[in-house]
């Protein structure tokens, strides 16, 4: 079985799917990513599907699952590079990529993740003084 490589770039894991994945390869990618998120402490995952000429219900479900798993592990997932014909087909198939954030390309994806992470840090900072004033 072929395996999809996962690259670490700064605080982000980048997965660029270059092959027509078998279902088994897709499931393996899901597991590999969860392990890498924990091992690296990365806060963002970018899945680049520019090379994919179709996304069927199995791969669609895998993308949703990865997004949910990474959320639980405190990382944001962004899917980038979806081809127009793939988007049209997905809608007609009836697949709503639930909980999946998308961006046009890797660069935009990185901006999205950076923004989401900054917001979260901000929120934590804002929260602390409030919590202190609340304690008598």
Partner 1 sequence: MTAGIDLGQPQAQSVRSDEDVVRVRQLVRAVAVASKLSLVDQTKLVTAASELARNTLVYGGGGSVEVTVVDNGRRKGVQIVFADSGPGIADLDLAMTDGYTSGGGLGLGLSGSRRLVDEFQIETSAETGTRITVTKWSR
Per CB under 8 A, 60 contacts partner 1: yes
Please choose, from the candidates 15, 19, 70, the residue with its C-alpha nearest in 3D space to the C-alpha of residue 47. 15
**Residue with Cβ nearer partner 1 (92 or 126):** 92
Nearest residue to 14 (alpha-carbon basis) of 103, 128, 106: 106
From residue 84 to residue 113, the character string flagging contacts with partner 1 as x (rule: CB under 8 A) and all else as - is -xx-xx--xxxx------------------
SS3 102: strand
Rounded distance between C-alpha atoms, residue 88 and residue 76, angstroms: 25
Rounded to 10°, the helix 57-72/84-93 angle is 90
Contact between 61 and partner 1 per CB under 8 A: yes
The pair of structure tokens assigned to 80 is 């980038």
Q: Which is nearer to partner 1, 18 or 58 (CB)?
A: 58
Contact flag: residue 81 with partner 1 (CB under 8 A): no
Which residue from 7, 8, 18, 20 is in contact with partner 1, where contact means CB under 8 A?
A: 20
Q: Which is nearer to partner 1, 32 or 56 (CB)?
A: 56
Rounded Cα–Cα distance for residues 66 and 54 (Å):
18
Task: Classify residue 43 by its DSSP letter.
Answer: S
Distance in Å, CB of 22 to partner 1, minimum? 4
Contact between 31 and partner 1 per CB under 8 A: no
Where along the sequence are the contacts to partner 1 (CB under 8 A)? 20-24, 53-58, 60-61, 83, 85-86, 88-89, 92-95
């Amino acid at each position: 079985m072929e395996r999809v490589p996962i690259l670490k770039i700064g605080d982000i894991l980048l997965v660029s799917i270059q092959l027509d994945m078998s279902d088994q390869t897709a499931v393996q990618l899901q597991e590999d990513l969860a392990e890498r998120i924990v091992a690296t402490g990365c806060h963002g995952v970018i899945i680049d599907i520019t090379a994919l000429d179709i996304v069927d219900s199995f791969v669609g479900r895998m993308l949703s699952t990865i997004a949910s798993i990474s959320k639980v592990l405190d990382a944001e997932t962004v899917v980038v590079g979806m081809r127009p014909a793939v988007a049209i087909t997905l809608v007609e198939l009836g697949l709503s990529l639930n909980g999946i954030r998308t961006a046009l390309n890797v660069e935009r994806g990185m901006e999205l993740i950076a923004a989401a992470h900054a917001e979260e840090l901000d929120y934590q900072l804002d929260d602390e003084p409030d919590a202190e004033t609340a304690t008598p």
